[in-house]
A = this chain, B = another copy of it.
């Protein structure tokens, strides 16, 4: 009866840890969009060779949060309003699909996990930990995708989530307010526990939509500010940080 399900042991390769470190730095906004990642400097800071660092960066490039230009460098992706809008509209479709798939699979464990994640959001809200608040809110929404029992969908959603988390973190950094409204989560959880699937799907659209509208407005303002002063013939990220530390 020793039915312990052991957690997979930690990937003890430097590459995996570097990926985690970099991803976290990007998703929390510590690395700004467009910023160039200097391999030598990062490798020295992490006390690691460039080989595993470069491999890690390739992974993040394919993950969509870094972009690489041969012989020029690797940069954090730029966030345009269109990107956010694109991600948002696709997210709506995926959410609807995930609810449809996971709906007949809901059971007690699902509801328990739903409550657990909801509680995590509320805890982060009480702690005023905005970064964790974003993280937990996205995990709350991710449950339907995890429960849908469709690996391709889950993978797709996780890829989307990376960007969304980055967007929200940026927004939160600009204005020091938490993005997701509290009581909307309450309704979301209640509808997922209910019997009306269509209502849940509709609510998912409306509710996430509200958050996104604000985010979009912010992104648009950023772009306007950017397009005023910058020379338009050079779309490449030329935001080089003078390292006068």
A residues near B (Cβ < 8 Å) are 5-6, 8, 11-13, 15-16, 51, 54-56, 58-59, 61-64, 70-71, 82-83, 86-87, 89-90, 93-94, 97, 101, 150-153, 155-156, 159-160, 163, 242, 244
Contact = CB atoms under 8 A, between A and B. Distances in A.
Contacts of A56: 58
Contact of A244 (B6, B58, B82): B6
Nearest to A56: B58
- A interface secondary structure, majority: helix
A150 B97 contact: no
B86 A244 contact: no
Of A8, A15, A155, A156, the most chain B CB neighbours within 10 A belong to A156
Contacts of A87: 152
A11 B71 CA distance: 10
Contacts of A5: 244
B83 A93 contact: no
B153 A86 contact: yes
B13 A151 contact: no
A100 to B, nearest CB: 9
A56 B68 CA distance: 13
Nearest to A91: B152
A55 B61 CA distance: 11
